[in-house]
Chain A
């Protein structure tokens, strides 16, 4: 079983839709959770960084962590074509070594 599971998609939504991206994990010791956005042929760009459980909001992006269910989510409101990218979740026990999901490919259609 992989440490982190993420549906690779692809996910296609119309512009303005709310997007929900999810990851599940098996290691209950994970405490640090991150979401990255990666455009084609580019390095990942950090979107959200959370510690332990709870919600965190930044503009159109909301990250949720449910440690009891070992489930994290990233919500994108009012999605834009520029949001089209691959979204990677990552998590860590100590904040040092991170385990990545395989990424979900998102396309927002104008």
Chain B
């Protein structure tokens, strides 16, 4: 089945620094990828929709200047958390769907646990 690779799986950074998270579709092309954030014991909250070759679409309340999304190719989307603060500590997950299989659901990456100290 479709595989989505996410890297790194965990990262610790100092407050004020920036962190980049990569999401790759390994065996299919994804014109659209989604970025979610999940706080402990809460559900996934959609942050933004990443569109290959165009600007990302952000959900209400998500700062686009803080969470920079780049979808430069059909297999790679990146999320950069700029000037990270402790409240940005969370589990970030990307997902994509293999459009060749209309009956398939979305595949998620393994997630990135970000801790800002």
Mark A residues whose CB is within 8 Å of B: 6, 8, 32, 34, 36, 41-46, 49, 51, 88, 96-98, 100-103
Contacts and interface: CB of A to CB of B under 8 A. Distances in A.
A36 B111 CA distance: 14
Contact count band on B: 20 to 34
B42 interface: yes
A29 to B, nearest CB: 17
A7 B38 CA distance: 17
B108 A88 contact: no
A2 to B, nearest CB: 9
Given A45-B108, A46-B105, A46-B107, A97 B41 contact: no
Given A43-B108, A97-B49, A102 B32 contact: no
Contacts of A101: 43
